[in-house]
Structure 1
Amino acid sequence: MSTFPPPAEELRVLDHELAQLDARRTQLLARRAWLVSVLAEQRPPTPVRSAGPPPASGPPPAWGPRPRAESSPPSVQNVLLVLGGLLLTVAALAFTLVSWGHMGIGGRSAVLGAVTLAALGVPVPLQRRGLTATAEAVAALGLVLTVLDVYALHRVAVPDADGAAYTAIASAVLAAVWAAYGTALPRLHTPLPAAVVAAQLPLFLGALAADAGAHTLTVALLATVAADTVLALRVKRMSVRGTAGGGAALLGLIALTTATGLSWTAADPAEAARAGALLLAAAAIALGAALRTPHAPLSTACAAVAGLATVLATGGVLRTAVPDTWTVPAHLLCGIALLTVVRTGLPLPVRRGLAGAAAVPVGVALLWTLPNLLLSVAGLARWADRTWAGTPRLAHLDAPVTAGPAVPVTLLALAATAWTAHRLIRADEPRRAWSATAACAAPVLLWSALTALPLSLQLPYAAALGTHTALALASLYGATALARAARPHLAWVLLGCGLTSAAGAALLSLATQPATFVVLTVLLAGCAVAAALHTDGARRAVLACAATLWATALTVAAPAALDLPPHRTALVVLAVPVATTLLAARLRTLRVAVPLEIAGAAAAGLAIALSVGHAPSLALTLALTGVIAAATALRPDRRPVSYAAGALFAAACWVRLAAWDVTAPEAYTLPVTALALAVGFLHSRRDREASSWTTYGPGLAATLLPSLIAAWSDPHWLRPLLLGLAALALTLVGAHHRLQAPLALGGTVLALVATHELAPYVVQVVGALPRWLPPALAGLLLLGVGATYEQRLRDARRLRDALGRMH
């Protein structure tokens, strides 16, 4: 039998064991930190003594508990060295710039020079003793002191020298000195990168001191970038390569930006050619780096810079030789020409970068054409406010100044480029998604070019109308052909283009009556035939809905041409839902029939909206729409439509009664109640378990509740009497057939009607009694209720159970 210590003793044991685990973990972490520092300094580890305390400068013991160390010795050492170097640097700056005591600038320069030589020489013995980190800190201090020496020399020897020229010479000297110092002491990591940083300044500052122009300054920057690129590619030390690469990227960006600005502001081809030469030089440097670097992402980035600089250089020259509206197409042409390198033997990362650079002018050109394209389509909507105003001279009313033929030409070039790209990469299995995107973009761009053509060329009205109509039909039948060729994505793309052109043509045709009827008829026939030719259910449904839209537009336009009022037009529009109902009944595909019926229902809604202003016509329209819905509900799969048919019939009756100035609510509710009770009765015959609240509750409430509200505000006696008799009959029927809904609704309405009718007399009787009698009667009533509370509860439970057993 095992025993357990008391809880206090067990807690003490657990705390002791946890403390031992923490001490063990701290010991292992300290040992690991020491081993890491030993490996970093590349010296053999000191053997651990088996007994006795370790020396003060040695590693921590391998075994035995010790206080937890919050930081490793190397990190503490580095922090101390960095802080010491910073403090010495601040002291040197204060000594040089602020002065020390009464010593002049010359004396300070001499002292500073001596200290500099000492700081640069101390790292040598420190490295021999293995104090590499300390040597690195002192060497960094020495480099800072050399900068201060250069400043002191300027103040002492050449105080009147030009600042930019002196800084250029000084930075070159410092770069050479630091490079020699770093080469002599290769184990120091700071001097050589510092020499690279200093080497970024001499050429640019020298050109600036010589009052050179922007072109010469850019040449100086590019020369420095070229030197940095060579260093980044040839030198093996990573710190030097990273510093040189960073300098090349920064100065290269500045040079590229400056050269681009010179190209865009050039006034003639000669000046643009000078700027283009600078851009091509930058492109050559970037391309050389892309070809030499083994890192694929960096190679791609450099190639992209080279390609973009080439496009800017050639496009800038072409820009000065063409009108302003052709500037973007000129750069696009250069970008398209750059795409030819995709099929060359260059490395794959380089080809990717050049292709990405070519995509930039393509994207810019696409964005540039977008406003004109949107205006070409959306601008036609202005004809909706000027219906049948007469044949205009131009298709686009009040159109702003456009870029002219440059827009469709640019879109055609983009379409050709997209199709060519599709043909080039369609056999590449990993890039099949890009091939599909290019294949879909080509027809869209071609359609965009043809859509923008009327606005760009300012075509007359008839030509523009014919262009949009023909483009709509061509796109629709192109979608049909592509669908038969098993190209579903392209089929959807062309279908969308065709429907957009169809909408534009329909809006444009609103200028004259003949154009409206001709175009709408052509679009109706075109969509209907295209729907019949398609085999895909989704595309057939879209085309069927479009055909329904054009048919609805025709049924609205025909009465309008005969000057019929809107409520008469509504009756003509109902021909559309009739046709869609008959057609949907013959179709066997639900994917087509359901959208077609929804489109027909939308046309019926339009007919109802047109007849709202005339109550008799609205009632007739609602009734006819109800007939259509009832005919649809005759189909076994459309039984739920019967509810909509009932609602439409009820609404038609209500509108007709309102037109006859009938205000009695029973006239509106009794037809609904009769229909609902009939439906409920049939439902109860099919489902014996159905609740009376489901079968009869809605129908009874439709009349009882409005009549009850009217009876309470009716000063006459006929409505309360009839309502009370009806409620009594319902209560008796519900009790006889054991139905909850008639019993509860009838009994409640009967009680409320009786209360309303007897209330005046009760008030009169209460007013005739003494004032003490009502409180006395209330007290007696409370006593009686309290005396028979239990019996009343039992009776209530029996009544609840009786109601629960009813249907």
Structure 2
Amino acid sequence: MRFADPQACPDCRGAIAGQSTCPHCGLDLTSAEVRQLWQTLLQADELLARAALRRDRSVQAPPPPQAADPFATAAPPPPPPAAPAPVPPATPPPPAQSPTVGPLPSYPQPGPVPADYALGGFLQSGQLRAGERTPPKEWSVGTILLTLGAFGLIVAGFIFVTRSWGDLGLVGRTLVLLGVTAGFAALGVWVTRRTLRASAEAVWTVVLALLTLDFFAARHEGMLGLDGMSIAWAWVVWGVVLVGLGILIGRFARAFLNADLLSTALVGGLGITLAGIGAANVPADWDMPWRSILALVAAGLLALATRPAGIRPLTITARVVVAAFFTWSYVVAVIGLVDHPKVDELVGDGHGLPLVLMAVAAVVIAWLVAPVRIWAVALAVFAVCALVAVPSGDAWRPEGAWLAVAGLAAVLAVAASRGTNAWAKGLRGGATPVVGGLVLLHLGLLADVFNAIGNGFDAAWSGPWDGRLDPVWAEDTAAWVVIPMVIGLVVVAWFVPRWPELKAIHRHASSAVAVALALGALVAVVEARLQLWAGVSALMVVAAALLAAHVRNLGVLVGPTAAVLVGFAAALAAPNQGVSASAYVAGAVVLAGLSYAKGADWARQTYAIASVIAFVGGLVAAADLLDPPHAVPALVGVVVSLALVAATGVVLRDQPVRIGVEAAAGFTMFVALIAEGSTSEAAVRWTIVGVVLIGLSFVVPDRQWYLWLGGAALAVAYVLLVVDSGFSFVEAYTLPLGAIALAVGFYFVRKKPDMETWLLLGPGLTLALVPSVPQALANPTDLRALLLGIGAAAALTLGIRFSWQAPFVFGVTILTLLVLFNIGPYANAAPRVVLIAAVSAMLLGFGITWEDRVRDGRKLVGYVRSMR
């Protein structure tokens, strides 16, 4: 049996398996006492082993291997004890002398638990692995009890002061205050000297809370003349006292604990906060910006006073508190600037001076405190911009603010484009809100652009060509202001991508300039209230410039920006038809240039489609301006579309935009074909399309399928002509088309002998014969039935002569139907017994000769299948 068993609790001997606390008796296995007990048990096992060796008088063997210390971690195992010298049998050892014991294993003295034991529990390996981090220590039961106790005492003291204080006299109150506070102060000194850090944190917190209660209670009761002190000065005084007490207690505790108390550091920060708030309320008649600055000064001086103490938690807390006061003072100064934007108020009444002081303070802080230099410079830059923009906007609304923002953004964008140190980064940080404000200003002014477009569509083609664009959101603004605004936006777009932080988008500076130029031009033509034709012309000139930049490949967004600008220009031109026609044609030219330039095929296809639609629409609108006959504009659309299709097949045969141009021209042609007009006018349009497409099928080698489209168009034209002529019989519509289809089919039957007749002759036979069948069967004895029978017989003859399946099937089917319907009236007039006898005789004959009929039927099916 061994006393030191790593699998058993040293108290209850219950089984354990790596826990930090015994699951049976609750013993804390990570405490220093248990570690010392473990070393003692190991020593006992060693002594027993030596006694057994001495009893057996045998050669001293090495002591049994020690069990792994479940409480130790990084300490190496102690060396084996030295074997004692052999003792002769005749010389017994002195009875009073204890056996010689080798070197005992070292174990830690009672005190703070090493960091290696923060894991808690028994470590099977005895030490932390290399690179393994120790997890944070959980609160112990003692720490929790100390915290609850301290909090309870504070609450009890508060309740006592507020509820039972009035029952005591002045002497009693004084004694209570002094006695309780002095007692806890003595307890704080005692626990600090005993190096009980958690207890020191709790007790000193109670002491400082009691001192605070003592001070304000004494002021309330008029002790020591404190009732003559205003509450604001009381906060200032007590804040200073708290800071001093925090420094004194912190330095005293560091001498014994070799660490800084967090509670006193937090109390010091609270003292700085109280002193700052109190200082802000001392001059109650001052404006809030000045009171905020006074609070900042008071907090800053107290924070500086804490630096010689060298208490790091207190220093950090003081910096956080001062930063909060600085932020508050800065915001209040900006609000004061906005509330008093007039120049005489800012200069004469001094309402702008607080923000000036905050800007100077930010520069000083940036100079002295390197870690916050970027933020401090940014705040200083923003303060200067606010001091310029706010009074400018108030002096001249809204143009003053627009000019100030545009100018400041341009200057800051240029000035911040170089440098990588903290000062330059801070400058860019302060410039960012101003640059963003300029962009947002232009985006906001787009509301007037969309409003002008909406008004134009409401009065489409009914307004004068020299009418003015009317802004609503920013009416009555000076027209010339838009020029520096556009210049400022372009400068920002060129220099901001050159900032070191935006190096990844530096190569897109040209695209940014293109977007800025288009946005600025849109806003400018509306806000300047230009005449309709002048505004649209200006936008088209900018689009043409962007086209030139796109041709030179100056940016990936230059081309799309030009296309979007063309669309806006066409939309703004809606009030007048002449301006719209000109805008459509000019836009088509720009879009055609975009489609011709280099770029992705899908983009070029898109530009080509838009160009064709705009071009055809512009020419149609221009033709309608001449007040021609009603059918002329639609005819112009058909002719122009056909011309574009022909030009595509001849000129753009090898260009990637060919498909897009053909599709767009086909769309515009179809729209023109179905345009409103009489039946005869529509027939003329369809006839022109059919003839031209059939002609193009012979001119364009890879567009032979135009022949079928042309034929279909001619068929539609013929039907429209027949409808317009008032014919009532169906053959007038279908027979000519069937004849044409049969002629084409006979031509290809000879040209392509491997193709089936159903594909080549089936459509023509269907159009020529099938539409007449219903009326011929209804009147099987009239002329239509006779002519249909002749046509079916001709088809049957052709089928048998040339072994063509389609004519054969059409002929047999139609002739059979005609014969049956011709016999029908006579069969119906004959007596029923004759009809029954005839049918029975036929069935009997078929039954007797069934096998021959089956053989003949198979031959007939094989004959038909063998046809072409």
Greater displacement, 658-667 / 501-510: 658-667
- Count of matched residue positions in the alignment of Structure 1 and Structure 2: 724
Q: Which residue of 2 aligns with 1:576?
A: 640
**Equivalences for 1:604-619 in 2 at 5 Å?**
604-610=669-675, 612-619=676-683
Deviation at 1:672? 8.2
Match of 1:179 in 2: 247
- The corresponding residue for 1:499 is 566
Distance across 2 between alignment mates of 1:310 and 1:134: 51
The CA distance in 1 between the partners of 2:823 and 2:202, in whole Å, is 108
> Is residue 523 of structure 1 aligned with residue 597 of structure 2?
no
Choose which of 663, 670, 685 in structure 2 pairs with 1:621.
685
Looking at structure 1, the residues matched to 332 and 246 of structure 2 have their Cα atoms a distance apart, in angstroms, of: 31
1:192 Cα offset (Å): 1.0
Q: What is the CA distance between 1:802 and its match in structure 2?
A: 14
1:308-319 map, 5 Å:
308-319=382-393
The aligned residue for residue 166 of structure 1 is: 234
**1:366 aligned to 2:439?**
yes
Aligned to 1:777: none
Equivalent of residue 557 in structure 1, options 602, 618, 621: 621
Is the alpha carbon distance of 1:536 and 1:228 closer, same or farther for their aligned partners in structure 2, counting shifts above 3 Å?
farther
Give the counterpart of 1:81 among 126, 140, 143: 143
> Could you say if the C-alpha distance between residues 163 and 222 of structure 1 is closer, same or farther in structure 2, counting changes exceeding 3 Å?
closer
Deviation of the 1:397 alpha carbon? 5.2
C-alpha displacement of 1:27:
4.5
Give the drift of 1:236.
Answer: 7.3
Mapped partners of 2:815, 2:240: distance in 1: 110
User: Could you tell me which residue of structure 1 aligns to residue 667 of structure 2?
Assistant: 602
Residue in structure 1 matched with residue 402 of structure 2 by the alignment: 328
Q: Cα distance, 1:551 vs. partner?
A: 3.8
Query: How far apart in 1 are the matches of 2:816 and 2:314?
Result: 100
Aligned to 1:213: 287
Residue 414 (structure 1) aligned with residue 476 (structure 2): no
* Cα deviation, residue 103, structure 1: 6.2
| Matched letter for residue 433 of structure 2 | V
Task: Tell me the TM-score normalized by structure 2.
Answer: 0.65
Amino acid at match of 2:638: L
* CA pair 587-338 structure 1, distance change in 2 beyond 3 A: closer
Letter in 2 for 1:607: A
Alignment check: 8 A CA contact 1:200 1:224 kept = no
The answer to whether the 8 A contact 1:81-1:137 is kept is no
Change (3 A) 1:73 1:541: closer
Identity %: 22
Deviations 1:298-318 (A, max 9, x none): 654443333222211233344
Number of the residue aligned with 1:468? 536
Rate the CA distance shift 1:161–1:533 in 2: closer, same or farther, 3 A: same
Shift of 1:408: 0.9
Paired amino acid for 2:441:
W
Deviation of 1:755 (Å): 14
* Cα offset, 1:379, TM superposition: 1.8
| Residue 651 (structure 2) aligned to one of 567, 579, 586 | 586
Partner of 2:26: none
Based on CA coordinates, which of the two structures has the bigger radius of gyration? 2
Q: Give the CA deviation at 1:354.
A: 1.8
The answer as to 2:336 corresponding to 1:262 is yes
The equivalent residue for 1:22 is: none
Matched, 1:434 2:502: no
- The one of 137, 149, 158 equivalent to 1:96 is 158
Distance change >3 Å, CA 415–CA 437, structure 1 → 2: farther
Deviation at 1:199, TM superposition (A): 0.6
Quick check: which one's helix share is greater? 1
Deviation for aligned residue 1:581:
1.5
* Partner of residue 795, structure 1: none
Query: Which residue does the alignment assign to 1:203?
Result: 276
Question: What is the identity, as a one-letter code, of the residue corresponding to 2:359?
Answer: A
Q: Which runs of 5+ in 2 are unaligned?
A: 1-15, 22-28, 43-65, 72-109, 127-133, 825-860
Paired residues of 2:680 and 2:724 also in contact (CA < 8 A): yes
Q: Structure 2: which amino acid aligns with 1:405?
A: A
Asked if the contact 1:369/1:407 (under 8 Å) is kept, the reply is no
| Correspondence for 1:771 | none
Q: Is the 8 A contact 2:690 2:710 kept in 1?
A: yes
SS at match of 1:199: helix
Q: In 1, distance between residues paired with 2:553 and 2:398?
A: 44
Deviations along 1:329-363, one digit per CA (max 9) or x if unpaired, are 22443344444653676x52432232132131222
Pair 1:92–1:501, CA change in 2 (3 A): closer
CA distance in 2, matches of 1:620, 1:609: 12
- For residue 516 of structure 2, the aligned residue among 445, 465, 476 is 445
Residues 98, 753 of structure 1: alpha-carbon distance in 2 compared, 3 angstrom cutoff = farther
Instruction: Measure, in 2, the Cα distance between the counterparts of 1:454 and 1:670.
Output: 62
Residue 278 of structure 1, aligned match among 351, 354, 374: 354
**Distance in 1 between residues matched to 2:424 and 2:790, nearest whole Å:** 93
Name which of structure 1's ranges 442-451 and 49-58 shifts more when overlaid on structure 2: 49-58
Q: Which residue number in structure 2 is paired with residue 379 of structure 1?
A: 452
For the residues of structure 2 that align with 1:632 and 1:228, how far apart are their CA atoms?
Answer: 94
In 1, distance between residues paired with 2:817 and 2:619?
53
State the shift of 1:326 in Å.
1.2
Specify the SS of the correspondent of 1:77.
coil
- C-alpha change, 1:521 and 1:324, in structure 2 (3 Å) is closer
Question: Conserved in 1, the CA contact under 8 Å of 2:365 and 2:373?
Answer: yes
Contact persistence 1:222–1:282 (CA under 8 A): no
**Deviation at residue 263 of structure 1 after TM alignment:** 0.9
Cα displacement string for residues 98-136 of structure 1 (whole angstroms, at most 9, x for unaligned residues): 669966465577546544444455455445555433433
Cα RMSD (Å):
6.1
CA contact (8 A) 1:570 1:608 kept: yes
Q: State the alpha-carbon separation in 2 of the partners of residues 683 and 674 from structure 1.
A: 14
